[in-house]
Amino acid sequence: MVERANGSVAEADAVPSGSPAEAPSRWRRHIPWRHWGPDAKGRSLWVRGRVLASLAVLTAALPAFHSAVPNTVGRFGSLLETFLPWLGLAVPLLAVLAVLRRSVTALVILLLPAAVWGQLFGGRLLAEGRGAHDLTAVQHNVSDVNADPTGTARALIRTAPDFVALEELTPAALPAYERALASDYPYHAVEGTVGLWSRHPLSAVRPVDIRPEGIEEGWNRGVRSTARTPWGDIAVYVAHLPSVRLRWNGLGSGWRDESAGLLGAAVAAEDLDRVILLGDFNGTVDDRGLEPVTSRMDSTGQAFAFSWPASFPVSRIDHVMARSATVTNVRTLPATGSDHLPVAVDIRLDRGGRR
């Protein structure tokens, strides 16, 4: 480079615009974090983004203290709990907004909801081996408009479960399920639109009244039977709680909640120690509306296993729960002709249960 007498650089020796030598300098000037100084109003990177930081705190508080959200108006608490794990999606969204806003404060506070979500749901992302278990059960709402009941039944028995619970059985489709399951499951009990198929002998079959007030007579969605297994007698329940509706003024779950209370009372009154409960409960285990049932049964199982809707599952409303036993390895099975995915679980019986 040659300097002229007036101190200017000779044009011939200047670095031409767009040349490779200028590229690193231009790239450094456009690195986002080089512009994280004060904004037009003089706010530093530690001051701006307070709204995003507040949203981050709220995102942490909702899953951590979801039971504090009132359920009196529109049952908003139950609605929140139905989709509770999905609150985690707010973390990457807020992180992108914090980068665009160039707010270090918001980025630091976002560690809080990330930690809360990881504590509550992170374990469900880990692969869960089947491990030691005594029984396997499959739960499936087969849909009353399922065009292939035979194919659905055959798909369910590929996992060779001990029990198969079905809901939304129709008089027209029931014979097809009975024929398809008969060879592997010689024992079955059907009450109304719910049924249980078993490898083990069944006795003491009776309906379970979970009909809420206001629903017409003939609505039968509960059945109980005693399964005689190598580990002793087990009370097996199958139930289908009423649907919930999302309305303009909130979640319509009154009938579902009332039915859950009746089912919880029936399980509490059960004489046998060991109980297995299968069904479509139209709610997640986090939903306080199911507390009369979930407080009395084990429904752990470290997996999301979203079962509904089958086309894009966002929630697990199909469950297998147990008492004097532990539910393990919850998983969904491939789609059938239903709008629900089948849910399969392994069950480890407590050895102290009464035979």
Domains in the chain, number? 2
Asked if residue 354 is part of any domain, the answer here is: no
Q: Residue 286 pLDDT more than 60?
A: yes
Asked if residue 355 is part of any domain, the answer here is: no
Same domain, 142 and 180: yes
Same domain, 173 and 298: yes
pLDDT tens per residue across span 288-338: 999 999 999 987 666 899 999 999 999 999 999 999 999 988 999 999 999
Same domain, 29 and 161: no
Same domain, 78 and 147: no
Q: What is the pLDDT of residue 148?
A: 98
Range of the domain at 153: 133-349
Same domain, 115 and 239: no
Same domain, 261 and 142: yes
Banded model confidence at residue 12, pLDDT cuts 50, 70, 90? very low
CA 290 to centroid of chain Cα atoms: 14
Burial class (CB in 10 A: 0-12, 13-18, 19+), 75: buried
* Secondary structure letter of residue 40 according to DSSP: T
pLDDT tens per residue across span 157-176: 999 999 999 999 999 999 99
Contact between residue 140 and residue 318 where contact means Cβ atoms under 8 Å apart: yes
Over range 29-33, report the average pLDDT. Answer: 50
C-alpha distance from residue 274 to each of 181, 191, 199, 202, 349 (Å): 25, 22, 17, 15, 8
pLDDT tens per residue across span 179-195: 999 999 999 999 999 99
Same domain, 191 and 282: yes
Find which of 42-46, 48-52, 78-82, 316-320 is predicted with most confidence, using mean pLDDT: 316-320
Domain boundary pick from 102, 124, 146: 124
Asked if residue 3 is part of any domain, the answer here is: no
